[in-house]
Amino acid sequence: MPIITSPQEFNTEDLYVDLRPVIGTELLLKCEGFNFAGSIKLKAAAAMVEQAERSGLLHHGSVLVESSSGNLGVALAMIAANKGYRFLCVTDTRCNLGTRRLMETMGAEVYTVTQPDAEGGYLAARLDHVRRLCASDARYVWLNQYTNVNNWEAHHRTTAPAIAERFPGLDVLFVGAGTTGTLMGCARYFRARGRPVTIVAVDVEGSVTFGGPARARMIPGLGAGVRPQLLDRSYLDDVVIVSEAETIRMCRRFARSGYLFGGSTGTVVAGAQRWLARYRPDTPVTAVAISPDLGERYLDTVYQKSWVDDVYGDAVYDADQAEVR
């Protein structure tokens, strides 16, 4: 067992779940939720903070500020608490209550945007608020996960090499698209090494990342109301778009098998299952999907019957789920 002196030093890199018994599809799930921040966002958060410190941008008296739908905010709140920085997270009404409480418990301030921008939705409204804060006070330091190259470089150094080492015969990798940091870090890694790995991005309906029409989205994590500046589609082989109803159904299927994963994981696995059924239905395949987080923070939303009923109605349930919901 490792001995650590700061919470960001610990992360479980080599845990995979064989999903065949759960979904009937040959797919391995890389679990990134087993660290003190509870998500894959710890990697990007740590890398961005460390680079800001090395460059002199972040120092004693600075106030970290970031726009986040939740997981990066928790990671930054944890790191800020450990290092003695103030941290302000700018989020919106879709952020889970448990996530907001986690950040506040670690000493972070949380500002919730309640009105979306007419064109860019909640994300654009959050970014506008961050820009106003930075313009008003030089102490604010915005790491800007949406443009910061350390976001994708963190996964280029850690996530992708870990997968490559564990699965030298990897055929397909499924990665959710949020800021696209994880996606681009992994895609760039395999392309640079000439590995014949098919990279499939998974996004949600209502996200504009891959050119779809903007629409209200209720599950935080994946998707964007503003096209991510880190995205370079030339590194991708395919894109799958998943509805939030599919996300709900997949998360609940996991729960009935004893696994509690977050909404982003449900989205990625639903997209991977559909893609594999279409393109590799009868072919042995080594396929990996990345799970960004676990499901405890979604107990009041994705796993709460009354919330699901209010937002999506009865049609969201599978026939077999209707009997146990």
Residue 298 sits in the same domain as residue 214: yes
Query: How many angstroms separate the CA atoms of 94 and 40, rounded?
Result: 19
What Rg, from alpha-carbon coordinates, does the chain have? 19
Collapsed DSSP state (helix, strand, coil) of residue 179? coil
**Residue 323: pLDDT above 60?**
no
**Residue 321: pLDDT above 60?**
no
Q: Which of 117, 142, 167 is the last residue of a domain?
A: 142
Q: Give the distance from CA 237 to its chain's centroid.
A: 20
Residue 127 sits in the same domain as residue 168: no
Is 320 inside a domain boundary?
A: no
Is 318 inside a domain boundary?
A: no
Residue 252 sits in the same domain as residue 278: yes
Q: What CATH number should be reported for the domain holding residue 284? A: 3.40.50.1100
**Residue with more model confidence, 123 or 142:** 142
Tell me what the mean pLDDT of segment 307-314 comes to.
90
pLDDT of residue 318: 65
Residue 192 sits in the same domain as residue 259: yes
Residue 300 sits in the same domain as residue 191: yes
Residue 111 sits in the same domain as residue 168: no
* Residue 322: band (very low, low, confident or very high) from pLDDT cuts 50, 70, 90: very low
Residue 122 sits in the same domain as residue 192: no
Is 19 inside a domain boundary?
A: yes
Query: How many angstroms separate the CA atoms of 39 and 71, rounded?
Result: 6
Domain that includes residue 76, residue range: 41-142
Is 130 inside a domain boundary?
A: yes
What the block records as the tokens of 144 is: 């800007």
Is 67 inside a domain boundary?
A: yes
Tell me what the mean pLDDT of segment 31-45 comes to.
97
What the block records as the tokens of 160 is: 């992708």
Residue 24 sits in the same domain as residue 164: yes
Classify residue 158 by its DSSP letter.
T
pLDDT of residue 100: 94
pLDDT of residue 117: 87
pLDDT tens-digit map of 206-241: 999 999 998 889 998 899 888 999 999 999 999 999
Is 86 inside a domain boundary?
A: yes
| 290: amino acid identity, one letter | I
DSSP string, 278-298: HHSSSS---EEEEE-BBSGGG
Q: Is the pTM of this model over 0.85?
A: yes
**Residue 196: pLDDT above 80?**
yes
Residue 174 sits in the same domain as residue 112: no
Domain total of the chain: 2
* Residue 324: band (very low, low, confident or very high) from pLDDT cuts 50, 70, 90: very low
**Residue 325: pLDDT above 80?**
no
Residue 137 sits in the same domain as residue 279: no
Distances (CA, A) of 158 to 25, 172, 290: 27, 18, 13
**Residue with more model confidence, 4 or 320:** 4
pLDDT of residue 139: 95
Residue 117 sits in the same domain as residue 233: no
Q: Which of 142, 172, 200 is the last residue of a domain?
A: 142
Is 36 inside a domain boundary?
A: no
Residue 94 sits in the same domain as residue 137: yes
Residue 18: which H helix or E strand, with range? strand 16-18
Tell me what the mean pLDDT of segment 73-79 comes to.
98
Of 65, 79, 68, 4, give the one whose Cα is nearest residue 37: 79
pLDDT of residue 118: 82
Q: Which of 142, 177, 208 is the last residue of a domain?
A: 142
Mean pLDDT of the chain, nearest integer: 94
Asked if 222 contacts 177 with a C-beta cutoff of 8 angstroms, the reply is yes
Tell me what the mean pLDDT of segment 302-311 comes to.
93
Query: How many angstroms separate the CA atoms of 203 and 42, rounded?
Result: 21
pLDDT of residue 1: 62
Is 241 inside a domain boundary?
A: yes
